[in-house]
């Protein structure tokens, strides 16, 4: 991947500059650009693939919340002047994407959720995980995947260092608590865009029943399960994930209007 992050004011992002419609990929609480390598390579020629950094560690402390991240995303899309966007979000990124889609339906072409929070999530909880406990963090990171070997030492080290940075740790907990407070059960009927749900059959953080609930509550949605896969299908089973998402995007991009 020969692309570099860009910085424009308060926005850090990667953009492929493809000729197609914007496809924004939103990472989770501990996620980042590396989560989407397979999607960037697969879709960069057909879409303008964009990966904005959600500023969990960059917002003023008083604004650290799910709402603060949604506002940042809204400002970014206005700043870039994008037409209607396709939003794909994993875990917390899905939660942010749904709230944006509800608030700005005219700017959404489609929504893709994978392992999204917003209804139920069993992760690190809403208190500080044990500090200086590498094995605890290693097991938590490995639980993201069906095959623990998918979890690299680099990924574990990154999460461990984040948790043991007190400033970052506080922000992680504040964001997680805000996500728990923003339960979406009573709001999902307001999602009007075509929605793709892709869930790992062995997801223990947002288990398969969560995907089924999203499917039940979002009228224009379709649900796909991937076997031998847990909370991050786009990383663990990238070929199958990309095939499902590619078919969906091919169907929903036909004749999409731009927002007024």
> How much is the average pLDDT of 153-172?
86
Classify domain 6-121+183-252 at the CATH superfamily level. Answer: Alpha/Beta hydrolase fold, catalytic domain (3.40.50.1820)
Q: Which residues contact 25 (CB under 8 A, 6 or more apart)?
A: 35, 36, 39, 40, 49, 50, 51, 88, 89, 93
- Residue 130 pLDDT class (50, 70, 90 cuts): low
Give the predicted TM-score (pTM) of the model.
Answer: 0.90
CA distance 83 to 108: 8
Report helix, strand or coil for 117.
coil
So what's the pLDDT on residue 260? 37
Give the mean pLDDT of 111-128: 77
- Sheet hosting strand 6-8, strand order edge to edge: 6-8, 11-15, 48-52, 22-26, 85-90, 108-114, 195-200, 221-226
Cα–Cα distance measured from residue 15 to residue 48, given in angstroms and rounded to the nearest whole number: 7
CA dihedral 36, 39, 43, 45 (to 10 degrees): 60
List, for residues 14-25, the tens digit of each pLDDT value: 999 988 999 999
Question: Under a CB-based contact definition with an 8 Å cutoff, are residues 151 and 143 in contact?
Answer: no
Is 222 a residue whose pLDDT tops 90? yes
Rounded CA-CA distance 1/148 in Å is 25
| Arithmetic mean of pLDDT, 222-226 | 98
What percent of the chain is predicted at pLDDT more than 70? 93
**Which residues, in sequence order, are CB contacts of 28 under 8 Å at separation 6+?**
35, 89, 90, 91, 92, 93, 94, 115, 117
Q: Which H or E run includes 41?
A: helix 37-43
Q: Is 29 in a helix, a strand, or coil?
A: coil
Asked whether residue 102 carries a pLDDT value surpassing 50, the answer given is yes
* Token reading at 117: 């929070």
Q: Where are the domains positioned within the chain?
A: 6-121+183-252
């Amino acid at each position: 991947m020969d692309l570099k992050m860009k910085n424009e004011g308060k926005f850090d992002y990667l953009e492929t500059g493809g000729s197609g419609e914007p496809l924004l990929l939103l990472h989770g609480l501990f996620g980042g650009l590396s989560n989407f390598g397979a999607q960037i390579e697969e879709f960069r020629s057909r879409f303008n693939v964009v990966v904005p950094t959600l500023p969990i560690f960059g917002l003023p402390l008083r604004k650290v919340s799910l709402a603060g991240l949604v506002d940042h995303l809204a400002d970014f899309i206005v700043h870039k002047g994008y037409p209607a966007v396709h939003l794909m979000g994993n875990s917390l990124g899905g939660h942010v994407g749904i709230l944006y889609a509800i608030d700005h339906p005219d700017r959404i072409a489609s929504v893709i959720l994978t392992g999204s929070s917003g209804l139920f999530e069993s992760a690190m909880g809403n208190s500080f995980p044990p500090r200086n406990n590498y094995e605890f963090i290693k097991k938590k990171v490995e639980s993201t995947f069906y095959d623990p070997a998918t979890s690299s030492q680099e990924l574990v080290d990154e999460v461990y260092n984040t948790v043991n940075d007190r400033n970052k740790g506080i922000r992680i907990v504040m964001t997680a608590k805000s996500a728990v407070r923003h339960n979406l059960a009573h709001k999902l009927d307001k999602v009007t865009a075509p929605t793709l749900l892709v869930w790992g059959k062995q997801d223990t953080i947002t288990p398969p029943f969560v995907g089924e609930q999203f499917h039940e509550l979002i009228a224009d949605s379709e649900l796909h399960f991937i076997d031998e896969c847990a909370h991050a299908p786009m990383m663990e089973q990238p070929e199958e994930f990309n095939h499902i998402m590619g078919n969906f995007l091919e169907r929903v991009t036909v004749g999409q209007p731009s927002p007024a």
